[in-house]
Structure 1
């Protein structure tokens, strides 16, 4: 009996043990899975960015490491996205009517006729511009033409002027008229003076006959045309030769087009061009290329192509958008990629498109492309896209706006590539011990000048620059190497300009160049009394970056002062050796 009870108890204990092993492990696994899930959720935490430097992404709030501004919340990144990819919701895609197209090797519909399409505007024909000026000193008593766009005719009264000198000349005419028989030379000289002031023979005879002096004199238009600028007002005192009006004859106008580098070889003066204005889409106007700008614009990478159009019917208004078509040798081949013009965002320096990188989700990436020629509504692409890429063809700017909001590369926010730079301290500069000792006299006045820049005090900058200049000129630079000597000569030039100038912006421009030459020398001095810090602001010098020396590790920006006091970072430390 006791044996049976022992067997039963042993079986129950065994069952409990087996149940714990089975269900207890399952609970532990569930707990581990839950813990793992929570951990995954943590990785998708809020990111923080800088409104001025969207490339900065931090896992917690704080200050921007570049400019010191407070970080703001950034949109959380989507799992699996590359650095410059953005993801949009299906709802946003629908609301913005964003459309995409898969591109492939093709020939544009209107490219088969070999026509090159150029975009441009109507402009005033500069050859038909004239200026209506005052021929004598005086005060404008009445201005009969007072607004731009007003039509005037030759001989029309433009203004009435009170001219003290002219009043005196009339009195001379009346006086010499009685002496013309005895002193004809004097009489003729007075008449010629009035003629030089553009008075007519009829006006001069009327003054002589009446014997009365006129105080106010009229100014008449010498040309016909349209007033393009009014340069004086009633009551103004004008000098002899001072412009009153600018007049343009719009009987002929210029059609000015922008042509890409790749199109220049197909263009020449004397070519026939067909011009279509947006205002008259169903009419073509024949013209001839009269000018091709010999200078290429560095900003837009285009040249100006000009044609002269007759405008006797006043159809063309300056500022109108026009399209020009020129017959040229087509450079397209069956393998050339073409995309709709609506897909391209052109910043002047870059041509950009958005590529859909995920065929199953609205994920996009900005890509820079190189454009060949434009043929009608199509661009040929020579670099940047591949056959089969899917690109945004409608709503491109909406996608770009989304990229800006997410802190990604965009049309207005080009990501800056980070290039490995050789530390300044590794620049091989040989300095004699004597020169290094003398150079130490420059450090303190330089640092005082730098602090004056931090305080944005132009007068103090100039004062400390004079002290620094005196120390620089006391150096013996004749024994330096050619490169070192050139650095010092340029430093002396920059400090001298700063010392003679109290325009803070101009002083800071020269301070940039000074540091480019002086800092490499300073960091090769081995007799420092204390450590120096080479600091750099990436936004100074038009976003090219600029350096300076400081004895404090904390950044106090000399290029912006209170505007962005902490913008910058320590890039090198020159220790006492």
Structure 2
């Protein structure tokens, strides 16, 4: 019995000792691990969170101490770069996310020789009527058009063909004089001759005059015959119209010879001379090449487009060319050599009027960019040839150039609108990305209203033109450059029809500037350039709209503080909801209503 108790006691003691050896050390290790874990957690969450800042990839001026949504565009914030070490003074570094959202693309440039068709420059243009071959078919006497035999555009007309029949009271009287003079021609030959000449001056032929004299009866209606052959370009009068002597009835164009009219940019003029050979290709016949010579160079430069018209005359006896066709012309470069020139896409260049600027990628492995000024030699279609500022192998931004420039502007680096660098104010400092304050709205309203006066008829027609403007704005929202160009041309036509003769100088300035910007937009196929002109267009249209009474429906002046290189830009809308025309889907809801026009 005693032995059993002793054995049990010894076993218990041994078990307790073994348990201490196993679980005592494990607990110590666990505590140690827990302590290390606590230190690690404490370091990760207290140290990093205190220093980590969050920013918006599209609005890098936004800085917040914690993640969330951008107060401007609503996008998710991303961790901000902790430093910009290693960057030169005017270099900027963008995140991969920002580059993807802005669709920034780069290209390594090379010699222009490879892409410039062996020393050729390219011009874009259209087929136009040869105005030297145009003729106007007019009425030779007063009367009413009883029958118009040629009555639609495009109709073929041959010389001697009957164009119209006219009732002419004066001719009725002249016929009676002829019949009377014919009976006296033996005794009064001078009178007889004078009456016949009178009818000849009205383009009646000897055969017609002899027929009237032989019949002895007066005709009420007289025919008008075509004096030239060609194609009807315009029908000016219609049946039933009363026409005066010399008043046009038809405009006829002889399309056996046509003009190919090209736009040559200012820096291409030195490579174009009269008599120079030009090779012409049309979209309609892409596999055919037509040879011609430059027959005319406009001596006056178009201030709006900075181009001159270069014209070549083409034979068109087969009727291949139709007025309005798009054509491309290629000319041999007149300069001695272009081996040192570099060709770049036109989308890469920002032009301020004085400087041509591009952004170059300075680090091949990272998205680091710097603005550079270049000297352009020529524009060849959709490309520029660069004389100075680039070298073969340089990598440049070819898409999204204005987005990179906006980022440089925000970071205070050299940019398109800021030659020397340094932060610029935006007019909304302290409220950037937020809803404008009441003071800001009142200030904006006061600056826009110039106390201008417009005649009632102007105001009515302007309100109608605004309907077309709103469609243009929607095309900008959709980022549809082709539709933007079409609608801008339409709005320009409506603005040109506004009666401005009775307007004051200030009022005329705003209207004329609007038309100028609309014409530039309509002639441009680059969306970023179109939007740059849209900024100036809106500055003028909004000012006019604020001074026109009776807006129906109500117009809202809306503003994006990020547009126009962070200076802000406005536009008009009939809807309070923001649909940003300057960024489209990238920042569709960026902006706010700053004024209501009712």
**What TM-score does the superposition give when structure 2 sets the normalisation length?**
0.54
Equivalent residue for 1:506?
Answer: 503
User: Deviations along 1:547-575, whole A, 9 cap, x unmatched?
Assistant: x9xxxxxxx966999768899x9xxxxxx
2:293 matches 1:280: no
Q: Which position in structure 2 is the counterpart of 1:299?
A: 304
Displacement, 1:265? 3.1
Q: Any stretches of 5+ residues in structure 1 without a counterpart?
A: 1-14, 50-57, 62-71, 421-449, 460-501, 514-537, 549-555, 570-577
Determine the structure 2 residue equivalent to 1:40.
53
Correspondence for 1:107: 113
CA 108–348 in structure 1, closer or farther in 2 if over 3 Å, else same: farther
Change in CA separation of 1:178 and 1:363 when aligned onto 2, cut-off 3 Å: farther
Say if 1:364 and 1:417 are closer, same or farther in 2 by CA, change over 3 A. closer
Contact 1:207 1:213 in 2 (8 A): yes
Q: State the alpha-carbon separation in 2 of the partners of residues 350 and 141 from structure 1.
A: 63
Cα offset, 1:290, TM superposition: 1.9
Q: CA, structure 1 residues 363+246, in 2 after alignment: closer, same or farther (shift >3 Å)?
A: farther
Residue of structure 1 equivalent to 2:327 = 322
1:241 maps to 246
The answer (yes or no) to whether the contact 2:500–2:508 under 8 Å persists in 1 is no
Aligned equivalent of 1:149, options 149, 154, 165: 154
Paired residue for 1:195? 200
Provide structure 2 residue ranges, at least 5 long, that are not aligned to the other structure: 1-28, 62-68, 85-90, 423-446, 457-498, 511-532, 560-566, 568-598
Residue 121 of structure 1, CA deviation: 2.7
Over the aligned positions, Cα root-mean-square deviation in angstroms equals 5.6
Following superposition, the deviation at residue 221 of structure 1 comes to 0.4
Change (3 A) 1:296 1:245: same
Q: Distance in 2 between matches of 1:210 and 1:302?
A: 63
Q: In the TM superposition, what is the alpha-carbon distance from 1:222 to its structure 2 partner?
A: 0.1
The separation in 2 between residues aligned to 1:307 and 1:28, in whole angstroms, is 80
| Deviation readout 1:203-235 (Å, 9 max, x if unpaired) | 122222223222221111000011111112222
User: How far apart are 1:105 and its partner, in Å?
Assistant: 4.2
Instruction: Give the total of aligned pairs.
Output: 420
Deviation at 1:246, TM superposition (A): 1.1
Asked if 1:216 is matched to 2:213, the reply is: no
Shift of 1:314: 2.2
When residues 243 and 27 of structure 1 are mapped into structure 2, their CA distance, relative to the original with a 3 A threshold, is same
Deviates more, 1:212-221 or 1:81-90: 81-90
Cα distance change on mapping 1:558 and 1:26 into 2, 3 Å: same
Residue 29 (structure 1) aligned with residue 43 (structure 2): yes
Secondary structure of the residue aligned to 1:209 is helix
Q: Secondary structure at the match of 1:294?
A: coil
1:128 Cα deviation after fit: 0.8
Secondary structure of 2:503 counterpart: helix
Corresponding residue SS for 2:291: strand
CA contact 1:47–1:76 (8 Å) conserved in 2 = no
CA distance in 1, matches of 2:358, 2:448: 46
Alignment of 1:79-478 (within 5 A): 100-105=106-111, 107-108=113-114, 112=118, 114-339=119-344, 359=364, 370-373=375-378, 379-383=384-388, 385-391=390-396, 396=399, 454=451, 456=453
TM score, norm. by length of structure 1: 0.56
